[in-house]
Chains A and B, each alone.
Chain A
Amino acid sequence: MPNNPTPLQDVYAEPAESHKVHAALTRSSTGSEDLRELGSGLDSLQSDAVRKARIDWTRILLPIAAIAVLIVIWQFYVSLGIKRRDLVPGPLDVLAQMGTLWGEGKVQEAVWTSLQRGLVGFLISVAIATPIGLLLAQVAPLRRAFGPLISGLQVLPSVAWVPAAIIWFGLTDATVYFVVFMGAIPSIINGLISGVDQIPPQYRSVGTVLGASRLQMALQIVLPAALPGYLGGLKQGWAFSWRSLMAAEIIAVGGTIGFGLGSMLDQGRILSDMSVVMSAILLILAVGILIELLVFAPIEKRLLRSRGLLAGSTR
């Protein structure tokens, strides 16, 4: 049987002056109040002071400066006159062309058509890929069976599906969406699986000890723990959606497929108008950068900061 625990008052009753501190072997504090005080002193010594966040202008100015330098180099190369102007237009020519296209309303139409398709396709891909990824990551036989196939699908360029899609669905939106799905879904699934693989095994032990059921384990522990990897998968999934979409729009032109950025690019090729081609490329790039800066970067930063993973990174 246990020794009867001595009541607190008796144990800590000795006056502080007469108490010899032999830390490690005997009680090192002289009572409940003393203990609380020592503890809170140690806590404040070991906690970091709160740091105020400021706007870091280098974050905004450096990328702009980098773009300015590239444009200056471009203009300089063009002004050397090595190539014909209609083959290599300068930045000002492209800007003028973009102005004309904007005036005709083509820029707005193309960006809107593509962006809307890209986002809808991406969101549907997320909705399909997330449960599949979670299931594959949690159920070993399923993963063994389908894992290699999913990895393989990620390697297969989704452009390869365009001919098949045209044969099955004709020149309709379904073709475009099908190609987007085949690009985005495997990469989101893979991102989620690798996120789950990187969870410290202890988290699952904690879940088991706390009495989590299989579903609770998946939703309350595995999914939030895998979030950084999952977000990486989502980013890649978006990149694959956007690329697949452009490929599909370039190849499948006409029918009920509207006028997107890929179509604009193809039109420039048919007309042999290099400034249209360059305008379309720059617009495709700009949309990609904006989505990264306005959507993914803030989410990722918040996620990493809240988990204490941001310190020391060059972000």
Chain B
Amino acid sequence: MPVVLENLGKRFGDGAPVLDDVNASIAKGEFVALLGASGCGKSTLLNIMAGLELPTSGALEVPSDGAAFMFQDSALFPWLTARENVELALKLRGVGRSERRVKANELLELVHLAEAGDKRPHELSGGMRQRVALARSLAQDRQLLLMDEPFAALDAITRDLLHDELERIWKETGRTIVFVTHNVREAVRLGQRVLLLSSRPGRVVQEWNVTEEHRTDAGLAGQLTGVITARLREEIRRHAK
């Protein structure tokens, strides 16, 4: 089990807890979608798994070499080309100069961006930037890949394609992926398991398995989306005054 969360809690200062008693375990090679309404602390949970923040209570087990992380906006460095952005991740990992070049080209080829390596981030479209960011996070070569709503800012056509791309890359690389989203369809489209996080405090309240049939049968997938959406709305309604 690369990731185990036990009674994890987080509060900022004296405020109400953002996360409370979160329990989950994620197996190696699994693709888990972490679903929740805005402000439910799912990004905080991801940041804790990435080591960017510390939990205030509970225990947490993550791979000792840390996790790769992909942000909502690509967060590419504008002063570097697409290839150099990927190379920087390799460099900070201690990969030698000549090997860096080869590896970066391989990774850009993996995300179908071999020709765009010399372009600067501002010359790329939003979808291309996210693919470079994906290549960069793969360059970190960590088993665990954490993704924080990476496709939220993209148009629908691009997003659909990137879902296919991400599924393909996940299968090719065998990574363990935790994918945070507030989009039920996206969660059903990508996750093998969908974990629903409640809001204030955040806690895993229910989970669903998504089977291979859901990937090809739109009726089945639609049904599951409906069920999860209903449950999510119930969670949101609890906070009505």
Contact = CB atoms under 8 A, between A and B. Distances in A.
B152 interface: no
Interface string A87-130: 00000000000000000000000000000000000000000000
Interface residues of B, number: 69
Nearest to B68: A209
A306 B188 CA distance: 39
A2 interface: yes
A25 to B, nearest CB: 4
A189 B164 CA distance: 49
A48 B157 contact: no
A254 interface: no
Q: Which of B78, B121, B126, B164 has the most CB of A within 10 A?
A: B164
Contact of A2 (B31, B88, B218): B31
Interface in A1-50: 1-3, 5-6, 8, 11, 14, 20, 22-29, 32, 35-36, 38-40, 42-43, 46-48
A62 interface: no
B57 interface: no
A8 B168 CA distance: 8
Contacts of B123: 47-48, 308
Contacts of B75: 200, 202-203, 205-206
Interface string A64-80: 00000000000000000
Q: Which of A5, A6, A38 has the most CB of B within 10 A?
A: A5
Interface stretch (B6-14, B33-41, B209-217): B209-217
Contacts of A200: 75
Contacts of B167: 27
Contact of B215 (A8, A11, A205): A11
Interface string A208-223: 1111100010001100
A28 B161 contact: yes
Considering the complex of A and B, which 4 residue pairs feature the smallest CB-CB distances, nearest first?
A308-B122, A46-B125, A22-B218, A2-B30
19 contacts: A3-B211, A5-B29, A23-B156, A26-B216, A27-B164, A29-B164, A35-B164, A42-B125, A42-B127, A43-B128, A46-B127, A47-B128, A208-B51, A209-B140, A210-B88, A210-B89, A306-B78, A307-B79, A308-B122
